[in-house]
Structure 1
């Protein structure tokens, strides 16, 4: 068994609570679906947001998902690099799995597809 990191990112159009929570849930659901994982296999989820997203903690949406109550979550600010992608939510899901590194499917949605076009699918 290995511990693998699954990356994901998305963006929102507005610094609004419901939009941030909805985008976070959508991103995590796609990561889970595409990688065939369940909460019991997740070691932790590290969440970052850009400094312009202040309306809520994205982890709130994950804590409300069925089966995710015991998964360790941590929110932090993304490094404010000049010219960086604004209004961005990033996830690093660490999971216990038998999958090889090249079998992991990273997920980039909306404007965040620009961060890793090599890993993004339209």
Structure 2
């Protein structure tokens, strides 16, 4: 019998500009990687909180995520990231709570310029498809 546990997964990405299209591209890429690297199905997800830096207001990341198959029942929240003057611009972050087998490794997802936030959690580009 497989033992399951609630786990937390962090991630972030950046967008090239404050447009719906740029945000959609980055959020979809981020969630594709979340599902793939952690072998997740949306039914395993308890909740996800997205944060955006104050320079992003073209759309809500949760509205983008709800367009994905099976994501319309995931509890999601969008909030503005605390502003720190020297922080990374055009950044979208998430905190996801999921059910995973206890033995499953967790892969935190940091893409694009957000790799600078947690280089210790980033996969080398050679490992990405």
TM-score, normalised to structure 1, is 0.95
- Ranges in structure 1 where 5+ consecutive residues have no aligned partner: none
Counterparts of 1:18 and 1:100, CA distance in 2: 37
Structure 1 vs Structure 2 CA RMSD: 1.1
Residues 7-86 of structure 1 aligned to structure 2 (within 5 Å): 7-86=10-89
Pairs within 5 Å for 1:90-105: 90-100=93-103, 103-105=105-107
CA contact (8 A) 1:47 1:90 kept: yes
Q: Which has the larger radius of gyration?
A: 2
Structure 2: which 5+ residue stretches go unaligned? none
Number of residue pairs aligned between Structure 1 and Structure 2: 121
TM-score by length of 2: 0.90
Is the aligned partner of 1:108 residue 2:114?
A: no
Match of 1:96, SS state, is: strand
Maintained 8 Å contact 1:22/1:61: no
Deviation at 1:100, TM superposition (A): 4.6
For 2:115, what is the secondary structure of its paired residue?
A: helix
